[in-house]
Structure 1
Amino acid sequence: MARVVIVGGGPGGYESALVAAQLGAEVIVIDTDGLGGSAVLTDCVPSKTLIATAEVMTDLAGAADLGIAVAPPTVELAQVNHRVKLLALAQSHDIATRLTREGVRLVTGRARLDGPGRVVAELADGGTETFDADAVLIATGAAPRTLPTAQPDGERILTWEQVYDLDEMPSHLIVVGSGVTGAEFASAYQSLGIPVSLVSSRDRVLPGEDQDAAQVLEDVLTRRGMTVLSRSRMASVARDGDVVTVTLADGREVAGSHCILALGSVPNTAGIGLEEAGVRLNEGGFIEVDRVSRTSVPGVYAAGDCTGVLMLASVAAQQGRIAMAHVLGDAVAPLDLSVVASNVFTSPEIATVGVTQRQVDAGEVLAEVITQPLATNARAKMQGIVDGFVKLFVAPGSGSVLGGVVVGPRASELIHPVAIAVTERLTADQVAQTFTVYPSISGSIAEAARRLHRA
């Protein structure tokens, strides 16, 4: 029986543990902070739980347009955050229970490599334990990036992991960083009724996303009252009593009651024996891996945010699964980032898969592009949806669907048929000829595909 030691209990760790156990290995997971990692305890699950509350507030804000009179709703932030943390802990408990049921040994402690095939754990209850392994998987994740001039205090200057300790509603929230994390929190807290200023060093919100989609989001956010400070680089963040001041590089100042720092992530790879064991890190400290999650050292694999490949829980889990299949001799399909679906949980949501508008505009990919606005969709009209669209990218010759973008409520659900089309190389005609329910928002996907038909 092969022995696999997994360092880290996030999606990359616990999903790989389940695969390894299924394939008959002896599996040990060494984890520090709780099963599920930051994805479950401080990042994805908590933030999307918060966003679920924000979505209800957004719906209530538009209720009058549907003929429903609603008294101005109020938000009890302490209660919201209490629910957020309870749900995260429950999800972590469920994961631990599942792993134990599958025969995985769970060890609470801080682990480090002691050579390629050995892991030493400093146990939470004292002492150390050494594990020899046929294969080691590193899945230690990443942590919020901070700067010397912008240090969180856990009270009014916060990372995204610290916001769930807030008991009172901020009177004015400043979010520094307009990437996915910054945009999601800015959108959510605005929906909860908090005045928000979003500081963006780039010329628009979500600079890494589809430009048309990002423009829709920015238009919606500003229409709802958000102040978006574009091309405004943060120089420092300081607190004086109940006032937090963000100083910009050009000397301007933005004052508020609270500030969230959304400055990116740094990998949790320091001080765990990686370099001493010969594991190669890049300049940012991320572990270098190939498409089957191998590091530079035979028998040592890595998965998740600590690799910097693509910081999504779904990618972390897939990296872990692939690693275990490779280790234990199962069929392996190397990681293919061209078919990864992702979503930005703002209001409206932005979901993408496959080829991007940027690739098409740069001439890297030849594709026909069609955009179908949701405003013409019958179901969207019934629900009062006015913002959003479906965009498809199709190969000119074969008609194969190469990629897509969905902007609108529940885009995270609507992107799935497009992701299937991209993964299975379906043509636009095949998508168009598949029955959709009438009326439905997904009908706009088929409508966009029909517009791409060539006789």
Structure 2
Amino acid sequence: MTRVVIVGGGPGGYEAALVGSQLGGQVTLIDTDGLGGSAVLTDCVPSKTLIATAEVMTEVRESLELGVRFGTRGLEGREAANVDATVSVDLAAVNARVLGLARRQSEDICERIQRENVELVIGRGRLESPDRVVAETADGPRALEADMVLIATGAAPRQLATARPDGERILTWTQLYDLKELPERLIVVGSGVTGAEFASAYDALGCDVVLISSRDRVLPGEDADAAQVLEDVFTRRGMTVMSRSRAASVTRHGDSVEVTLADGRLVTGSHCLMAVGSVPNTADMGLAEAGVAVDEGGFITVDRVSRTSARGVYAAGDCTGVLPLASVAAMQGRIAMWHMLGDAVGPLDLMTVSSNVFTSPEIATVGVTQNQVDSGEVIARSVTLPLRGNPRAKMQGSRDGFVKLFCRSVTGIVIGGVVVAPRASELIYPVAMAVSERLTVDQVSQSFTVYPSMTGSIAEAARRLHGSRSIIS
């Protein structure tokens, strides 16, 4: 029986453990912070639970347009329409639910792991060699001999020397869930996915939000058209977006914080969220001694089947820096197990990975990007359909967003797409299926969609690509 030792219990680790046990391996999983890792305990599950509450707040506020009235008994017509919807949020109750759900999800994973005969060791693992792992446990060090090793230790919020989090007023995204009251004014430093998501959520919860971006727009790594829609929505809803503004330092003054920008400007608020990226949890793990190569940022170097430079040692998840998504971490972990235990396996294909930004509206993408097409790296035709033309969107009062499809110029094979809409994370799936299965626009357009539905825009975009030119409508 192959002895497999996994270090780290996040998606990359626990999903790999389940596959390893299924394939007959003797699997030991070393974890220190709780199964599920940051994805379950401090990142994906908690943040998206908070965002679910924010979505409800947004829907309630915007329901006035649909004829819904609050506190208007006895009022009629225009008088009723002018009454404000006074809806507030109990942040302490929201965060209690957030943390409770994350804890229960972690417990569910732990139960599943144990049912599948995976040995769980609570402690911090480090490599003594490619075939020997030592776990530092409460009862002392425990040495584990291994035929194969998987490292899945994840990443942690990056901290700046000039903006040290104190857990009260200057916060990382892992510390937000300790708040009992809504910040009076929240300054978010960083306009990547994490910064944009929390800025969007706290704005919807009723907080005055300032979003500081060092780049010329929010979400610099996303589709430019999609980012522009989101920035327009942020501004329309009253958020302050400061582009081309680099934060030099953050200091606390009692119950307030002060952000000093590189050009000398000052921004004050009650709280500051630092969302300036992540660093891999790879320090002091014996990687160099075991022959595991890392890049200059500390991320473990892996190939498309998750192998590191050390024979018999694999790595998965955020510690590899491949793509910081829970879905990618889980797939890297599964691929590692399939490969190390001799099962059928296909290399990781990032062009089929769907990703989503959980803002309001959401931004979902898969496959090739607009930048790749504009630069000539990929030759493709495209179509962009604004959401305001979709009948279901009109019924729901949704006007911000679009559907964009890319296809091969000659064959019409779908190679990418962008959806900006409410629940874009669900709408991207048919596009992802088309990309992964190499469907043509004709095949997509000939599939029935429900009328009226948001997915109707995907089929319509495919129909419009039955031709020879790119279309923007």
TM tier, smaller: over 0.9
Per-residue displacement from partner, 1:202-255 (whole Å, max 9, x unpaired)? 000000000000000000000000000000000000000011000000000000
**What residue number does 2:27 align with?**
27
Instruction: Find the aligned partners of 2:467 and 2:379 in 1 and give their Cα distance.
Output: 16
**What residue number does 1:207 align with?**
220
Q: Specify which of 344, 350, 369 is matched with residue 331 of structure 1.
A: 344
- Tell me the CA shift for residue 168 of structure 1: 1.0
Alignment of 1:430 onto 2:443: yes
Alignment of 1:362 onto 2:379: no
- Tell me the CA shift for residue 126 of structure 1: 2.3
Per-residue displacement from partner, 1:114-134 (whole Å, max 9, x unpaired)? 1110000111x3211110011
Instruction: Find the aligned partners of 1:341 and 1:27 in 2 and give their Cα distance.
Output: 30
SS at match of 2:398: coil
Map 1:13-412; keep pairs closer than 5 Å.
13-70=13-70, 71-123=85-137, 125-412=138-425
SS at match of 1:149: coil
Instruction: Find the aligned partners of 1:206 and 1:61 in 2 and give their Cα distance.
Output: 25
**What residue number does 1:442 align with?**
455
Equivalent AA in structure 2 for residue 36 of structure 1:
G
Per-residue displacement from partner, 1:420-449 (whole Å, max 9, x unpaired)? 000000000100000000000010000110
Instruction: Find the aligned partners of 1:55 and 1:280 in 2 and give their Cα distance.
Output: 43
Instruction: Find the aligned partners of 1:72 and 1:276 in 2 and give their Cα distance.
Output: 61
Equivalent AA in structure 2 for residue 119 of structure 1:
V
Q: Which of structure 1's runs of 4+ aligned residues deviate more than 3 A?
A: none
Instruction: Find the aligned partners of 1:340 and 1:363 in 2 and give their Cα distance.
Output: 22
Per-residue displacement from partner, 1:30-58 (whole Å, max 9, x unpaired)? 00000000000000000000000000000
Instruction: Find the aligned partners of 2:63 and 2:295 in 1 and give their Cα distance.
Output: 51
SS at match of 1:379: helix
**What residue number does 1:4 align with?**
4
SS at match of 2:453: coil
Instruction: Find the aligned partners of 1:60 and 1:420 in 2 and give their Cα distance.
Output: 33
Equivalent AA in structure 2 for residue 319 of structure 1:
Q
Equivalent AA in structure 1 for residue 86 of structure 2:
P
Per-residue displacement from partner, 1:171-222 (whole Å, max 9, x unpaired)? 0000000000000000000000000000000000000000000000000000
Per-residue displacement from partner, 1:69-93 (whole Å, max 9, x unpaired)? 1341110101000000000000000
Instruction: Find the aligned partners of 2:236 and 2:461 in 1 and give their Cα distance.
Output: 27
SS at match of 2:241: strand
- The sequence identity of aligned pairs, in percent, is 73
5+ long unaligned stretches in structure 1: none
5+ long unaligned stretches in structure 2: 71-84, 469-473
SS at match of 1:365: coil
Instruction: Find the aligned partners of 2:125 and 2:465 in 1 and give their Cα distance.
Output: 54
Equivalent AA in structure 1 for residue 97 of structure 2:
R
Equivalent AA in structure 2 for residue 357 of structure 1:
Q
Instruction: Find the aligned partners of 1:85 and 1:281 in 2 and give their Cα distance.
Output: 33
Equivalent AA in structure 2 for residue 374 of structure 1:
L
Instruction: Find the aligned partners of 1:374 and 1:52 in 2 and give their Cα distance.
Output: 22
SS at match of 1:61: helix
- Tell me the CA shift for residue 276 of structure 1: 1.2
Q: Give the TM-score taking structure 1 as reference length.
A: 0.99
SS at match of 2:450: coil
Instruction: Find the aligned partners of 2:421 and 2:168 in 1 and give their Cα distance.
Output: 34
Instruction: Find the aligned partners of 1:387 and 1:281 in 2 and give their Cα distance.
Output: 42
- Tell me the CA shift for residue 454 of structure 1: 2.5
Per-residue displacement from partner, 1:135-187 (whole Å, max 9, x unpaired)? 00000000000110010000010000000000011000000000000000000
Instruction: Find the aligned partners of 1:48 and 1:25 in 2 and give their Cα distance.
Output: 34
Instruction: Find the aligned partners of 2:327 and 2:227 in 1 and give their Cα distance.
Output: 23
RMSD between aligned residues? 0.7
SS at match of 1:275: helix
Instruction: Find the aligned partners of 1:246 and 1:432 in 2 and give their Cα distance.
Output: 51
Equivalent AA in structure 1 for residue 118 of structure 2:
V
Instruction: Find the aligned partners of 2:465 and 2:315 in 1 and give their Cα distance.
Output: 41
Q: How many residue pairs align between the two structures? A: 454
Instruction: Find the aligned partners of 2:158 and 2:92 in 1 and give their Cα distance.
Output: 26
Instruction: Find the aligned partners of 1:20 and 1:444 in 2 and give their Cα distance.
Output: 41
SS at match of 2:211: strand
